[in-house]
Structure 1
Amino acid sequence: MNNGRYSHTATPITRRIQQLGIAAGVLLCASAQAQESIARAYILQYHHISDETPRSTSTAPDLFRQHMNFIAENGYQVLPLAEIIRTLQEGGGLPEKTVALTFDDGYKSIYETAYPLLKERGYPFTIFLNPDALDNHRSTHITWEQAREMGKHGGVVANHGLGHIHMVEVKPSEDASAWRARMTQNIEQAEKRIEEETGASLKLLAYPYGEYDASLQKLVSSLGYVGLGQHSGPIGPDSDWTSLPRFPASNAYSSVPQLKEKLSTLPLPAQMLSPQNILIADNNPPQLRFSTELNAKVTCYGSGQGLLDSAVDNNEVTVVGVAPFKGRRFRYNCTAPAGGGLFYWRSFPWINPAIPED
């Protein structure tokens, strides 16, 4: 997906300001100030912090340092993810520029490369890991001892399930009840091991591969967990606590200008009307329909397809891809101008389980 596509300088709102002059600019400034007061936070998602690992899931050490410098130099406050979520759930306020740092899988480069910089700056961070990787002493991953050391300096451990499996997949021999029992065991056993080794149970679950569906969301909610995906967007008080978005921060998606753009967004208020599930089969490309009360133009883009076909009827937006998607996972990213250099942003993820993992 092209996360660098949305140019603030070319928006209709900007052109309108130029046409109407200072008076309109004053009004827009007041509107922007109101929008900036919306409680929100940005969760950044990292995997490897290395030059020697797959580019799609890696952030170069120099780029990671640039990210941390940008955050520090532009007034962003890095807070613990669990604290941010709890505050938003309870309707509390957050600093205007709030960021959470997360790392998936527990790779050793987190400890070797990211941790020293985060410790130096006093930044809290969350590592989502599958405990069996540590229990099996994989050389590519951190150790429990390292996890406990990082815990003394703001690095907490949270749940990424056992085995890094595709949780949405149902085995041929399983019915719905058997699948639920297997997923419950997977999640709860991982949480138990984390608590045994670190002494803490945050009940935060990052879905492996960012894959979830309506059934998994229902299960996660019933178990008392907050679920996090790998689709993009800021979070706010009205976020779905079983599918929180995170902005990817790997080399491919997060140059410093791209990071700046991501951290200039607001949660796009939208109620998904159809389909009821993000798993697709014959409905490729899927048709998305959602409602929003924004008095602004909503524009949507698809992974690898660019601008998507869309129609607006009153407060309902209908979006569909221009051709079938070939990947197992893809996104519809929808934005709308909010004024003052801000954009509303929401990513709608899709999963085609018929396509095997690359």
Structure 2
Amino acid sequence: MSRFRRLFPVAGLVFGLLAGPALAQDARSLSGASILMYHRFGENTVPSTNIRLEQFDAHIAELKSGPYHVMSLPEIVAKLKSGEKLPDRAVAITADDAYISAFTEGWPRLKKAGIPFTLFVATEPVTSKLKGYLTWDQIRQMKAEGVTIGAHSHRHPSLPALGPDKAREDLETSMALFEKELGEKPSLFAWPFGEWDAHTLKLVKQIGYSVAFGQHSGVAHSQHDMFWLPRFPMNEHFGSVERVRQALNSLPLPVTDVEPADVLVKLGQTQNPPILRFTVAPGIERLNQMVCYTGEGKQLTPKLIGERRYEMHAPDALKPPRDRISCSVPSSQQSRFRWFGIQFTVMK
């Protein structure tokens, strides 16, 4: 098994399908940021969404001792949107869902280390005072202490599966609760389950968010679509210091002209598996060493079909509710990889 698969066996990457800014003439100088995504801290009965505290302590030690520039997510977003160059190995820390352990375990450790933090809140479990989640008072306290609060929908549904009217209702309910409880509307949004399609992406823009984040590995950069920026997921199974170090040292792999034009796969209605095509930006080296895998670890063979344009398809049909194809290319800098990927929303 390659080193790529050992470190990132299931963490797919999402890159833009819709029209975005023109790619740089030479993408080797394109700067980016690695955004780490957590859910629970020290809740060891749910390993798929939890990071053990000893693992998280090791992550913080790596961030403090390594060659990294830890920044707040709004600061990174501002530089991405303006095109201003980020420092090498820029990093941001985020967590989704507003589990209580973000308040009792995660934030105290980050605050002590002087590391900024963004929390994406699903408003329904908080408002209904569901056990295991933060309260609005605790969220207000975190905000007062400097935590950035972003939105993560109301009921944490698969937004594409809701349909247009119910998806809008969920997002508008969430936005109204933020305004009521925190006195302002959030500008940052994280997709529940990392699932989106062309319609919900337009809807999130209309609701008033300025950026949106997925749950797929990759490096955010200024020429990425701002409404599915990637993050590196962290949990017990894939939370070793080696994996964190590899994520924090990753580089962008910018592409354009991605096909298909929408990530939504409807079983029986659209081609499954979809044929993935993309063009790699000029200047990227070692494309003959590109390796690609599905979320289940099955290897794909990238086929060169034009100047820096590649085509590939998964060996088997994609399965609901989501699947991923991820690709990496070794950079000219030792032990650093460039990343591109796509997450498909698969509906029956």
Aligned to 1:239: 224
> How many Å separate the matches in 2 of 1:188 and 1:252?
35
Q: For the pair shown, which has the larger CA radius of gyration, 1 or 2?
A: 1
> How many Å separate the matches in 2 of 1:223 and 1:150?
25
2:125 is paired with a residue whose SS is helix
* Deviation of 1:277 (Å): 1.0
Aligned to 1:150: 142
Q: Which runs of 5+ in 2 are unaligned?
A: 8-26
Aligned to 1:213: 197
Q: Deviations over 1:298-325 (max 9, x none)?
A: 2211111332122012221111112223
2:168 is paired with a residue whose SS is helix
> How many Å separate the matches in 2 of 1:188 and 1:326?
30
**1:149/1:3 Cα in 2 relative to 1: closer, same or farther (>3 Å)?**
farther
Aligned to 1:198: 182
Sequence identity (%): 31
Q: Deviations over 1:57-76 (max 9, x none)?
A: 11111101111111111032
Aligned to 1:139: 131
Aligned to 1:184: 168
**1:309/1:97 Cα in 2 relative to 1: closer, same or farther (>3 Å)?**
closer
CA RMSD of aligned residues (A): 2.1
Q: Please, which of 339, 345, 356 is the counterpart of residue 332 of structure 2?
A: 339
> How many Å separate the matches in 2 of 1:189 and 1:3?
44
Aligned to 1:263: 248
2:292 is paired with a residue whose SS is strand
Q: Which runs of 5+ in 1 are unaligned?
A: 8-33, 172-178
The residue type paired with residue 210 of structure 1 is G
Q: Is the 1:103–1:126 contact (alpha carbons within 8 Å) kept by the matching residues of 2?
A: yes
The residue type paired with residue 274 of structure 1 is E
* Deviation of 1:170 (Å): 4.1
Instruction: Select the structure with the greater relative contact order (CA < 8 A; seq sep ≥ 6).
Output: 2
Q: Is the 1:4–1:258 contact (alpha carbons within 8 Å) kept by the matching residues of 2?
A: no
Once the two structures are overlaid, the 10-residue window that deviates more, 188-197 or 104-113, is: 188-197
> How many Å separate the matches in 1 of 2:278 and 2:55?
36
Q: Does 1:5 align with 2:13?
A: no
Q: Deviations over 1:23-47 (max 9, x none)?
A: xxxxxxxxxxx94x53211111100
1:157 is paired with a residue whose SS is strand
Q: Does 1:79 align with 2:71?
A: yes
Aligned to 2:276: 288
Once the two structures are overlaid, the 10-residue window that deviates more, 299-308 or 331-340, is: 299-308
Q: Is the 1:157–1:194 contact (alpha carbons within 8 Å) kept by the matching residues of 2?
A: no
Q: Does 1:38 align with 2:30?
A: yes
Q: Deviations over 1:156-178 (max 9, x none)?
A: 2211111111100145xxxxxxx
Taking structure 1 as the reference length, what is the TM-score of the superposition? 0.83
> How many Å separate the matches in 2 of 1:272 and 1:350?
17
* Deviation of 1:3 (Å): 7.8
Taking structure 2 as the reference length, what is the TM-score of the superposition? 0.86
Aligned to 1:100: 92
Q: Deviations over 1:232-277 (max 9, x none)?
A: 1010110111111110011222311111111121111111431111
Q: Deviations over 1:283-303 (max 9, x none)?
A: 222210111133422221111
